[in-house]
Amino acid sequence: MRPGGGISPSFVAQQRIRQLEQKLRAKEERIVVLETENALLHLKLAEFRGLIGRDTNEVAQLNFVHDKQQNLCRSTSSIIIQVYGAIQRLKRDLKNLHAFALELSRDFQHQYKNSLYQVLTAVQKIQLQNEALQTFQTKAFDLKQSLQEVNERYQQEKQKRKILHNSLIELRGNIRVHCRIRPLLPFDTAFGHSVSQDWHRKLSEKVAHATDDETVLVKCNRPGHTLINKTFQFDRVYSAAESQDAVFADVAPLLTSLLDGYNVCIMAYGQTGSGKTYTMLGPQSEDDVTLSTEDEPELGIIPRATEEVFRLISEKPPGSHWVEVSVVEVYNNEIFDLLAKDSCGRVFGVKRDVITTKEGKSDVPLLTYETVENALEFLQLVDKGLQLRVKHPTLVHAHSSRSHLVVTLTITTKAVSADSFAPLWTDEQPSQKLSKELFCTFPQQMKDDKLIFPSRASSPAQFESVEKLKHIKTKLQLVDLAGSECVGMSGVTGVALRETSFINRSLSALSDVLGAIAEQRSHIPYRNSKLTHLLQDSIGGNAKLLVMLCISPCQKYLAESLQSLGFGTRARQVQRGQVKKRNLPVSSKSK
């Protein structure tokens, strides 16, 4: 301190120095502390560095792991994204599916309802139908019963019809004569130059007329004689205008008799060129004898009758009837089989003979019979036969048939036990129907011929053997006779004259047979000619004969026409007796 009390500068400086020194010491202490702390920190730093060194590895490892995890994370998240996408899609699909399922379910329910409704409607319908069915069944039963009654009545009526039909035919006569006057044709007016105009006119004049359905008027105006009108009565007379249809309409009922068990013969008689072949077969052209079904309205009796026979058979039980055909010509009193074939299958006329069997029937041994199923097959066969038929030109016309043509249809009917049919039509076997049919058709024969067997055939085989036992045969003989003529008119000489002589002789034998039948002579001279011998079963007491007289209308043929009308009148006088049905069943082999 400074005397006077004031503080010297040195003191202050000292003070200051001391303070500074104190500060310095404090700083140094602080430095020591800090250095210590620094050393400690270095230590710690070293320690930490060591630690850091270790941690760096760990960090590297961790980094590696981290990277890996990050990679994993990345791939996982892409998978997650994919899975998410898939889930989204799945969700969408599921949603669609659900919607679809809902739709389906709605549809199903709708359909189910519809089906249920339909089933219910169907059930209702079925119930209604069942009721209707029951009503129908009741009605059917009633109808069945009335049908049965109607059937029974039908059978009775059928029997009555047959009886009436046959009575009618019998009333008309078992030998019926029809007369057909053909139109005037160009060859009727063809004369040589030697004939004067006057004669020409006279000879062409029409002298035969149909005055009504049963009468022929002939104006006989012969030179040097007074005019006489002659009338002839027949069962039916056809004028020139009448068609083949009209002619056949009167023939057809005879065919019903054929299936009723009678032999039937239809023959055309008349002079050369009078229309016999036209009436029996139909028109035939110059060089073709073919029977054509195309020209139907013109077809003659033979094709029409065959058609009708097959139609009638079609109404019978199937297989109960069959038809065989033979075609023969009688030429110069010899029989020729026109269906016989040579080894190459060609047809050629083979001479045959006619005999009388033990049963008194006529038979032609070795004659060819062809089974036919229909009219067409028949026509084809007849056509073949016709190609062989002998024809020569005469003064009357160019295609005169010089032989008698006999076409025979043999109808065989199976005869079976009559007691083998059931009482009802329904549920019966065809064979039973057949036996019933046969019993209705041939009641008398089946009884007379003891075709009713003691007991019902118990097995089909037995029945079959029974069926094979008996056959009933009936014959339809269709005859186109050769022309009856005066030798002068036909203008023939030599071989042709001999033919004409044979023709006339056989026609005269036919007339004699009809005359003997008319006079009820005990002996009928069937065997006087091959023609009558051949036709024996179809003319006479047990058969129905239709003679179709064919007449040329003009004066030129007056003599021949009168001769034919005389023949017809004689045939018509044959006593009209009861005809017996054929009652002898014959074995199928005897032909």
φ and ψ of 441, to 5 deg: -80, -45
Stretch that binds ligand ATP, among 117-125, 177-185, 508-516, 521-529 (CB under 6 A): 177-185
443-482 binders of ligand ATP (CB under 6 A): 482
Is 255 or 550 the residue whose CB approaches ligand ATP more closely? 550
58-87 binders of ligand ATP (CB under 6 A): none
Mention every residue, 6+ apart, whose C-beta is less than 8 A from residue 20.
Answer: none
307-336 binders of ligand ATP (CB under 6 A): none
DSSP-derived secondary structure for 223-289 = TTS--EEEEEE-SEEE-TT--HHHHHHHHHHHHHHHHTT-EEEEEEEEBTTSSHHHHHT----SS--
CB 309 to ligand ATP: min, Å: 23
Report residue 262 as tokens.
Answer: 């009678």
Among 256, 263, 277, 564, binds ligand ATP (CB under 6 A): 277
CB 578 to ligand ATP: min, Å: 33
> Cβ(142)–Cβ(539) under 8 Å?
no
CB 181 to ligand ATP: min, Å: 8
Is 414 or 556 the residue whose CB approaches ligand ATP more closely? 556
> 3-state DSSP call for residue 541?
coil
Among 50, 53, 85, 183, binds ligand ATP (CB under 6 A): 183
Q: Determine the residue type at 448.
A: D
Report residue 349 as tokens.
Answer: 């006329």
Give me the residue whose beta carbon is nearest to ligand ATP.
Answer: 275
Report residue 362 as tokens.
Answer: 């006529």
Is 305 or 457 the residue whose CB approaches ligand ATP more closely? 305
Is 362 or 394 the residue whose CB approaches ligand ATP more closely? 394
- How many residues touch ligand ATP under the rule CB under 6 A: the total is 19
Mention every residue, 6+ apart, whose C-beta is less than 8 A from residue 269.
Answer: 276, 481, 484, 507, 510, 547, 548, 549, 550, 564, 567, 568
Is 274 or 477 the residue whose CB approaches ligand ATP more closely? 274
For residues 537 to 566, the per-residue mask of contacts with ligand ATP, x marking binding by CB under 6 A and - elsewhere, is: -------------x----------------
Report residue 326 as tokens.
Answer: 């033979």
Q: Number of C-alpha atoms within 13 angstroms, CB side, residue 216?
A: 33
> Cβ(329)–Cβ(403) under 8 Å?
yes
Q: Using CA atoms, how far apart are residues 172 and 240, in angstroms rounded to an integer?
A: 23
Is 502 or 526 the residue whose CB approaches ligand ATP more closely? 502
390-429 binders of ligand ATP (CB under 6 A): 397, 399-401
Is 261 or 275 the residue whose CB approaches ligand ATP more closely? 275
Q: Using CA atoms, how far apart are residues 386 and 112, in angstroms rounded to an integer?
A: 79
Angle between helices 494-518 and 558-572 (to 10 degrees): 30
489-528 binders of ligand ATP (CB under 6 A): none
Is 397 or 591 the residue whose CB approaches ligand ATP more closely? 397
Residue found by looking up tokens 């044979």 in the block: 502
Query: What residues pair up with 178 in beta bridges, in sequence order?
Result: 236, 548
CB 277 to ligand ATP: min, Å: 3
> 3-state DSSP call for residue 419?
helix
Is 372 or 565 the residue whose CB approaches ligand ATP more closely? 565
> Cβ(259)–Cβ(252) under 8 Å?
no
The per-type count for the chain, helices as H runs and strands as E runs, is 13, 17
- E strands, 61-207, where? 175-181
CB 274 to ligand ATP: min, Å: 4
Among 248, 262, 278, 336, binds ligand ATP (CB under 6 A): 278
DSSP-derived secondary structure for 9-61 = HHHHHHHHHHHHHHHHHHHHHHHHHHHHHHHHHHHHHHHHHHHHHHHHHHHHH
CB 391 to ligand ATP: min, Å: 7
116-175 binders of ligand ATP (CB under 6 A): none
CB 266 to ligand ATP: min, Å: 15
∠ CA 294-476-404 to the nearest 5 degrees? 80
Query: What residues pair up with 324 in beta bridges, in sequence order?
Result: 371, 410
For residues 341 to 380, the per-residue mask of contacts with ligand ATP, x marking binding by CB under 6 A and - elsewhere, is: ----------------------------------------
CB 358 to ligand ATP: min, Å: 36
CB 180 to ligand ATP: min, Å: 7
Is 274 or 413 the residue whose CB approaches ligand ATP more closely? 274
Is 236 or 414 the residue whose CB approaches ligand ATP more closely? 236
Q: Does 185 bind ligand ATP (CB under 6 A)?
A: yes
CB 383 to ligand ATP: min, Å: 16
Is 238 or 439 the residue whose CB approaches ligand ATP more closely? 238
236-275 binders of ligand ATP (CB under 6 A): 270, 272-275
Count of other CB atoms within 10 angstroms of residue 256: 18
Is 264 or 268 the residue whose CB approaches ligand ATP more closely? 268
Among 283, 317, 515, 525, binds ligand ATP (CB under 6 A): 283
CB 256 to ligand ATP: min, Å: 25
- Residues within the interface to ligand ATP (CB under 6 A): 182-183, 185, 270, 272-278, 283, 397, 399-401, 482-483, 550
